[in-house]
Amino acid sequence: MNDRINQMAVQIIYQELRGLLGQYVETEGYNHAPTEVPESDGLAYAARRMAEIWRTAATWLAWAPAHTRKIVRILLEVEYLLRSCECPGVVRRWKEIDPVLNYFDCAFELMEKSPEQYEKIRMGLSNLRLSCYPDQKWMEQRKAYFAAARERLEDEGQAYSEDEVFQDELLRALTLVFQTDFGDMWGQSLAG
């Protein structure tokens, strides 16, 4: 019975977070609130939704305390994303779990549009620091990733936007984070 409660708790919290992260495009990176909510400010909306998710987590984790530490960590990581006001804006752990998130880093754009400046930063000849330092191979992989994403969205009849692709990758990363943190139980909860 406890295993089933643990699985339900983790799955409910995952679904709540998925719902919030799935509004990235609609809220323009949480800069605006969805039209159907009372808040006009996107961050106020995201803060209210996170408070609701924290309450849900607290209720479920009272029944399933075995996963409290992991759930709290994930909730704090999502809050970091919401407050970061940048893309990708995720914690290093998420980029380790889903390295594709690095493709959204400004380092790629800098490398492409200002190669001299990028090289100075990469070599440590500037006070600026980047969260990643792509090379040409990584740049080619990124281009292939975005080309495949464009094709997939067109096949699905959706308009292409980098924000749409980022939202999809955020949702993928969330799933990978839960799979990493909850292992076999996660696979069972999806099957159940």
pLDDT one-digit tens code per residue, 73-101:
999 999 999 988 777 889 999 999 999 99
Contact indicator for 45, 34 with CB cutoff of 8 Å: yes
Confidence of residue 192 (pLDDT cuts 50, 70, 90): very low
pLDDT digits (tens, 9 = 90+) for 23-38: 999 999 999 998 888 8
What counts of helices (H) and strands (E) characterise the chain?
8, 0
Cα–Cα distance list, 192 to 3, 8, 10, 115 (Å): 12, 10, 13, 50
9 in helix, strand or coil? helix
**pLDDT number for residue 38:** 82
